[in-house]
Amino acid sequence: MTTSSENDNRPLAVLRVDSSARGDASTSRALSDRVIEKLKAEHGDVSVTLRDVSAGLPMVDGAWLGATFTDPAERSDDQKATLSLSDTLIDELRAADVLVIGVPVYNFQIPAALKSWIDLVARARETFQYTESGPEGLLKGKKAILTFASGGVDLNGVADFTTPYLKFMLGFLGITDVQVVAADRQNLDETAVDRATAEIEQLAA
């Protein structure tokens, strides 16, 4: 994987997004740890920004929508304050070369907090734009690694609604290079975490 950081001699910028509510017992967090270790081993100089959303994020509401669809030059101070967290999250995304996103499966979907993160960063004119040929993502040239953890859901199985959604949304924002490391069906397969750990060692550099 050749990144912009390698071309301009700056540290590899990694944005790590954790969403599991299980803390130190979380499989997705443990897998993300290993992915970060792998990146550091391969790239040496790595800068990691951690965004832990597990405690929850504000949900998009009418005030937020009104602010984001108001011309930036005409936003009130209240509207700017309403968008301040979204602005920060988007800045973190823009600065990243690689995203490492922890994806625990809750009731066949991503955690609500991770969905809120997506809602806050998917903003017209900021991370995507509408063109004559359709929507265009503005976050091109980045790589995403998803650390998927489930108790009974098969990765890419009929009940996996998480990875198709995340791949679509990341692609919508311009991030099409997406790899998935999966410790799936942990309640049924005692080797799931070992398999995922082995997958991390095989990640494309």
Binding-site annotation: residue ranges for FMN: 20, 26-28
SS3 of the chain: helix, strand, coil, percent, to 5? 40, 20, 35
Residues 181, 146: contact at Cβ < 8 Å? yes
Phi, psi (deg, nearest 5) at residue 190: -70, -15
The pair of structure tokens assigned to 33 is 């740890």
| Other CB atoms within 10 A of residue 122 CB | 17
- The beta-carbon contacts of 7-13 under 8 Å, at least 24 apart in sequence, are 10/45, 11/45, 11/46, 11/47, 12/39, 12/43, 12/45, 12/46, 12/47, 12/97, 12/98, 13/47, 13/49, 13/95, 13/96, 13/97, 13/98
- What is the rounded distance in angstroms from the CA atom of residue 53 to the CA atom of residue 79? 23
Binding residue numbers: 20, 26-28
Helices within 11-76 (DSSP H only): 27-43, 62-68
- Given a contact cutoff of 8 angstroms between Cβ atoms, the answer to whether 143 and 6 are in contact is no
